Amino acid sequence: MADTSRVVDGLRAYRMITAMWIRSTMAYRASFFMTTLGNLTATTFDFVAILLMFSRVDELGGYSLPQVAFLYGLSSTAFGLADLALGSMENLGRRVRDGTLDTLLVRPAPVLAQMGADQFGLRRLGRITQGLAVLIYALATVDIDWTPLKLLLMPVILVSGAGIFGAVFIAGAAFQFVAKDASEVQNAFTYGGTTMLQYPPTVFATELVRGVTFVLPLAFVNWLPATYVLGMPIPLGLPEWVAFLPPLVAVGCCALAGMAWRAGLRSYQSTGN
């Protein structure tokens, strides 16, 4: 029961602090619109690279442009959601180094919630917008045998994917308690991860696909469920039902990340900065 009240407290604090950051951002309205636009443009170029590739070839690893767009849209939107909610966790290392983490520790709210809401950047809506735009384009052009089950799976994929990326953000931040300048390591898994997932699994080496399926389960963000929806062969010859595992994987990842976070915070409290 104590845990439930902590979660409620955490969400409450998260909401209050994000509201403060949004209002802070709005103190510089022009700057907000510029950075959001910049965010949107930068991520759009990302997709333009794929379009350019398809101006030379008709398929990539057996996937057509609409199919790659489908993968891209799912990964980018899921990542965007996680990035919006928890992207600022990567500031943890800086807060540990300059000692400002201490000011969060004397507040009557969970540090994870305070840290997640820290520097909340509404400009990150730019990435979500772009991801959704690509996803809509894909849905309009791709050839899918829609069944009720597949339709139902779509929002589940996005939410679970955001959960998995969110867990990576939290675990990455927990790692920064130990290695204070490891935000680049975290970026390799978050930004690097989403970039990888934007391409079909068939263009990567089997070992890598295996790694992101069984070790760091990023494949559950889009590859495994999306290949099922698209009717493409599921990577590593896995059975069809793995397409329905993402929610479980997301919950498992978040639980592990939560444990890592607690361990990290405890180690901070015993070692200081």
Partner 1 sequence: MDEGFIDVKGVEKVFEVRKKAGFLKRERRQVRAVDSISFRVARGEMVGYIGPNGAGKSTTIKMLTGILTPSGGRLRVAGIDPSRERTRLAHRIGVVFGQRTTLWWDLPLIDSYKLMHRMYRIPDGRYRENLDRLVELLDLSELLDVPVRQLSLGQRMRGDIAAALLHDPEVLYLDEPTIGLDVISKAKVREFLRELNAERGTTVLLTTHDLQDIEQLCSRVMVIDHGRMMYDGPLAGLHEAGESERTLVVDLERELPPIEAPAPARVVRVEGPRQWLAFPASESAAPLVARIAAEYPLVDLSVREPDIEAVIAKMYVEQTEKTANAGNAGNAGKAVS
Distance, in Å, from the CA atom of 259 to the CA atom of 253, rounded to the nearest integer, reads: 10
The verdict on 192 binding partner 1 (CB under 8 A) reads no
Question: Which residues does 1 contact at the CB level (< 8 Å), separation at least 6?
Answer: none
1, 3, 27, 155: which one binds partner 1 (CB under 8 A): 27
Among 41, 100, 141, 187, binds partner 1 (CB under 8 A): 100
Amino acid symbol at 11 = L
Torsion of the alpha carbons at 43, 48, 54 and 60, rounded to the nearest 10? -10
Task: Compute the 3-state secondary structure of the chain and give helix, strand, coil in percent, each to the nearest 5.
Answer: 80, 0, 20
Binding-site residue total for partner 1 (CB under 8 A)?
A: 24
Query: Of 19 and 255, which CB lies nearer to partner 1 in the complex structure?
Result: 19
Residue ranges with strand state E in 63-210:
none
Rule CB under 8 A: say whether 272 interacts with partner 1. yes
Work out whether 33 is an interface residue with partner 1 (CB under 8 A).
no
Q: Are 128 and 43 in contact (CB under 8 A)?
A: no
Which one of 13, 134, 162, 168 is in contact with partner 1 (CB under 8 A)?
13
Asked if residue 17 lies in contact with residue 114, where contact means CB atoms within 8 angstroms, the answer is yes
Token pair 């998995």: residue: 164
Which region, judged by CB under 8 A, interacts with partner 1, from 11-19, 58-66, 130-138, 150-158?
A: 11-19
Among 11, 53, 105, 136, binds partner 1 (CB under 8 A): 105
* Sole window of 99-107, 129-137, 143-151, 162-170 interacting with partner 1 (rule: CB under 8 A): 99-107
Residues of this chain that interact with partner 1 (CB under 8 A) are 9, 13, 16-17, 20, 23-24, 27-28, 99-100, 102-103, 105-110, 266, 269-272
